[in-house]
Amino acid sequence: MNFSPRLEVDLDKIKYNAARIVALCHQHGIAVLGVTKGIAAIPQIVSALLEGGVDGLADARTENIIELRNEGFTAPITLLRIPRLSDVENVVKYSNVSVNSEIEVIRALGRAAQNLGIDHDIILMVDVGDLREGVMSENVLDIVRKVIQIEGITLQGLGTNMGCFGGILPEYSNLSILVELAQEIALKVGVSLQVLSGGGSSSLLLVEEGGVPAGINQLRVGEAMFLGTDTTNNRIIDWLKTDAFLLKAEVIEVKTKPSVPIGNIGRDAFGNIPEFADNGMRNRAIVALGKQDVYIEGLIPVDDQTSILGASSDHMILDITDTRQQISVGDELEFRVTYSGLLSVSQSKYVTKVFRKDAVWLS
């Protein structure tokens, strides 16, 4: 427990969140995939999701999926990032399902699946307005007709993504596009789709309000399970735990210094020209944590009287003038993480991860 910096992870809270989300979604006939990309597929955390009852796993990185298989995880796994042509063999070998939008890639997946003597399921992604990945709705029928001719490939269903690029909110109207397309496919192509995947954490609000169109039967959830938040809707989900992760870093300097650097200002180590407000002399602390360790903008000091002034690659500078307790060299300061902070710190080799389960700390 003396490693610093370290990320403390409460596995029981993550399991609790997963179980609450699964219970809510199952009441509405919606399966839940636990999205592991935000925590770099750390095995202990993945196990907590499965203990919470998720119906499968999903990750955007083939590398993470391979590691999960090597760790012995046998749950169904969906690849969430549209596959690279150069990686199709790994995709069909290690994932059960992949999301897709390019017919050339789907054909390559089919060839790889045939070579391995297996079938590979795909979700055809539909762009309903967020303008990230996906086929435009008017082109879906044509693509489906081509996909069902590809040997080694099974069209499992349709999916969409919202909030991650364009910030588009899930609504009854845009999710209904998937339902209407599925009905059209059944009528004109004669294919009945098993899955209509209607987004992620941002779609939970619709589930809570009973506003998900009938026919949407899968969500892919990560952020809400880990942090109890929904960034797209800018809300804290009050029925979930929000403190499963705590980042701690050791103080390595405490000094009173001016709030504005002395001398002519050029660019900082990252090529930016910094700006400073003149607040006079301030008490400052430096912790052994920097941009090489974590996305600094994704950290929130637990003490709300402490503020982050900035960071270099190895040092984070904080204003502790109004902090409630006296801070000395060797003390630890605590930080909550947003989703962007969690995404970066989970894969940092410089931050030790420790886990709490059933009130016991596990290294």
Residue 319 pLDDT? 96
Q: Is residue 33 part of a domain?
A: yes
Tell me, yes or no, whether 4 lies in a domain: no
pLDDT tens by residue, 260-297: 788 777 776 677 777 778 788 999 999 999 999 999 99
* Residue pair 273/317 in contact by the 8 Å Cβ criterion: no
Same structural domain for residues 63 and 150?
yes
55 plus 199 within the same structural domain: yes
The answer to the question of residue 2 being in a domain is: no
To the query of whether residue 37 is one of the catalytic residues in this protein, the response is yes
Among candidates 255, 259, 262, 334, which has minimal Cα distance to 299? Answer: 334
For residue 187, the enclosing domain spans: 10-236
- Model confidence pTM above 0.85: yes
**Tens digit of pLDDT for each residue in 69-93?**
999 999 999 999 999 999 999 999 9
Rounded-to-10 torsion of CA 145, 142, 57, 200: -150
Q: What is the mean pLDDT of residues 98-126?
A: 98
* pLDDT at residue 1, rounded to an integer: 55
- 146, part of any domain: yes
Pair 275, 319 in one domain: yes
Examine residue 3 and state whether it is found in any structural domain, yes or no: no
| Mean pLDDT value of segment 334-354 | 97
- Same domain? 192 vs 107: yes
- Catalytically annotated residue among 15, 37, 291, 353: 37
The predicted model gives 61-71 an average pLDDT of: 98
What does the block give as tokens for 206? 């619709």
Domain count across the chain: 2
pLDDT digits (tens, 9 = 90+) for 128-178: 988 788 999 999 999 999 999 999 999 999 999 987 777 778 899 999 999
The answer to whether the CB of 78 falls within 8 A of the CB of 156 is no
Boundary residue ending a domain (216, 236, 256): 236
Question: Is the pLDDT reported for residue 324 higher than 90?
Answer: no
Asked if residue 254 and residue 211 are part of one domain, the reply reads no
In terms of domains, do 162 and 256 share one?
no
Region of residue 88 (left: phi > 0; alpha: psi -120 to 50; beta: else): alpha
Tell me whether residue 1 is in a domain. Answer: no
* DSSP H stretches of helix in the chain: 11-27, 43-51, 62-70, 88-94, 103-116, 140-147, 172-188, 204-209, 223-227, 339-346
236, 258, 292: which is the final residue of a domain?
236
User: And the tokens for 216?
Assistant: 């949407």
Do 254 and 146 lie in one domain? The reply is: no
Token pair 């596009």 in the structure block, residue? 177
Structure tokens at 87: 């990686």
Residue that the structure tokens 């009441």 belong to: 27
Q: Predicted confidence band at 227 (pLDDT cuts at 50, 70, 90)?
A: very high
CATH number for the domain harbouring residue 139: 3.20.20.10
Q: Does residue 114 come out as left (phi exceeding 0), alpha (psi in the -120 to 50 range) or beta?
A: alpha
Give ∠ CA 76-96-84 in degrees, rounded to 5. 130
Give yes or no: residues 225 and 249 share one domain. no
Q: Are residues 193 and 324 in the same domain?
A: no
Phi/psi for 111 (5° steps) reads: -65, -40
171-218 per-position pLDDT tens digit: 999 999 999 999 999 999 999 999 999 999 999 999 999 999 999 999
Q: Are 190 and 275 in a shared domain?
A: no
Q: What is the mean pLDDT of residues 298-316?
A: 96
DSSP label of 82: P
Q: Are 260 and 220 in a shared domain?
A: no
The whole-number pLDDT of residue 168 equals 79
Give the CATH number of the domain where residue 287 resides.
Answer: 2.40.37.10
Alpha-carbon Rg for the chain, nearest whole angstrom, is 23
**In whole angstroms, what is the distance from residue 208 CA to residue 196 CA?**
18
